[in-house]
Amino acid sequence: MALITKKIKGTEDVLPKQSYRWQFVENIMREEAAKFGFKEIRTPVFEHTELFARGVGQTTDVVQKEMYTFETKGKESVTLRPEGTAGAARAILEHSLTNEGLPIKAYYLTSCYRYEKPQAGRLREFHQFGIEEYGTSSPLADAEVISLADSIFKRLQIRDLHLEINSIGCPACRAEYHKALKEYFEEYKGELCETCLTRLDKNPMRILDCKSPVCSKIAENAPKIVDYLCEECQSHFQQVQRFLDTAKIDYKINPTIVRGLDYYTKTVFEFVSDAIGSQGTVCGGGRYDGLIEELGGQHLPSLGYAMGIERLLMVMENQGIEIPTPDTCALYIAGLGDNAQVKAFELVQSVREFGLYAETDVVGRGLRPQMKYADKIGAQFSMVIGDNEIEQGVAKVKNMTTGEQTELAMDETFAQKFSRLQMTAKFADIQE
């Protein structure tokens, strides 16, 4: 019989034999975020479309081309989240989290959705770890969130990541920059792609982010934002660099970084890897001091970033970084007959309550298939229970590696005694 359907293009399944890799990375992200005082926030997978149109920006590719937008039965336009920041900002406003003290520090682990051409490192459903900090304009905060990203990469032992930083200024100094950009690109109107022609009047900085080879080539000689920064923005950028130097975090200034979303101001940055080809940005972010105002709140300077989990895993795989595999089954108990199955289940439950991974047959296999299954799941020890073992109250526990057998009483102390046996075997393996 043919399958009714298969996974949608641009999505991937994370199978049980792979999920431990995700859990390892996510646990490190949670642990490092906690060290910096960040707590988890979870927002809905879909929001009113205007949230992203206002927050992300009408001139971005995300809003113009990539959002999954649909109309509900109640005639409301809703959109699957294309990124995590707008939803987090909406939640902070809606629940008045500013009353709980500043800065507000939050992180998320979430799925995002963008309709774009699937390729290595770019999916239509993808996953991000993101940091959000609200209520500080200090350049120290910029350096701190970058430091958090850096600490995650170090914990994951990722090599050859390059931190690139830039400042795209504030609305005041950017206005002058926009004029200079528009004058420059006006000379190339006949060569710009259709999308960039629409950007020319609305937001010429978006042209710098165009992936078209022709537009990218033209943009190489465009005016640089660093030459148009006002005194305050210039000072802020210099202070960010000073704090990064203090933290001994290497970086280079890349004046072409503008990021792909309209809400960014001042500091923008990316961590880039050479290990996964053209989709090399594994983390990107910066400041978005005007976002909360854009969404209807009072001025609240903010900043953050997102890192793609799929891309991180690709980098780790390409660099041969080993992720610890989860513990295999400590004990498999085979029960022969109804009474033995009941006893096997009782003992397995006691071992689980003791904090160890144990299994017994739930399929109805014979002894030989059960032993094959125990070997397949990598059981460290096995035990067979039949009528004789129940009558005597004792069964033999077999070390599946050495073949050594040890008798254990099947009483209320069974789990404790088995735990000691397992620990002894582990210690012997370490000694060898």
CB-CB neighbours of 170 under 10 Å: 18
Domain boundaries, the chain: 16-170+230-318, 331-422
Dihedral sign for Cα 26, 42, 88, 123, please: positive
State residue 122's pLDDT score: 86
C-alpha to C-alpha distance for 364 and 239, rounded to whole angstroms? 68
Helix ranges restricted to H, 282-386: 291-294, 309-318, 338-353, 367-376
266-314 tens-digit pLDDT: 999 999 998 777 668 999 999 999 999 999 999 999 999 999 999 999 9
Percent of the chain with pLDDT over 70: 96
User: Cα-atom radius of gyration of the chain, to the nearest Å?
Assistant: 28
- 191-200: average pLDDT: 89
Domain 16-170+230-318 has CATH 3.30.930.10: yes
Largest alpha-carbon pair distance within the chain? 94
| Residue 361 tokens, joined | 């047959």
DSSP helix/strand/coil, 22: helix
- 166-185: average pLDDT: 91
State residue 429's pLDDT score: 61
Q: What CATH number belongs to 331-422?
A: 3.40.50.800
C-alpha to C-alpha distance for 408 and 411, rounded to whole angstroms? 9
pTM exceeds 0.75, yes or no: yes
Please identify which residue in the block is written with the tokens 């009408």: 58
> In CATH terms, are 16-170+230-318 and 331-422 the same topology?
no
Please identify which residue in the block is written with the tokens 């001042």: 266
Please identify which residue in the block is written with the tokens 């792979």: 18
Asked whether residue 59 carries a pLDDT value surpassing 90, the answer given is no
State residue 432's pLDDT score: 53
Q: CB within 8 A of 317, min separation 6: which ones?
A: none
Picking from 52-56, 90-94, 153-157, which range would have the lowest pLDDT averaged per residue? 52-56
User: Could you tell me which of 199, 253, 198 has the C-alpha nearest to residue 224?
Assistant: 253
State residue 428's pLDDT score: 64
- 337-357: average pLDDT: 97
Picking from 64-68, 248-252, 393-397, which range would have the lowest pLDDT averaged per residue? 64-68
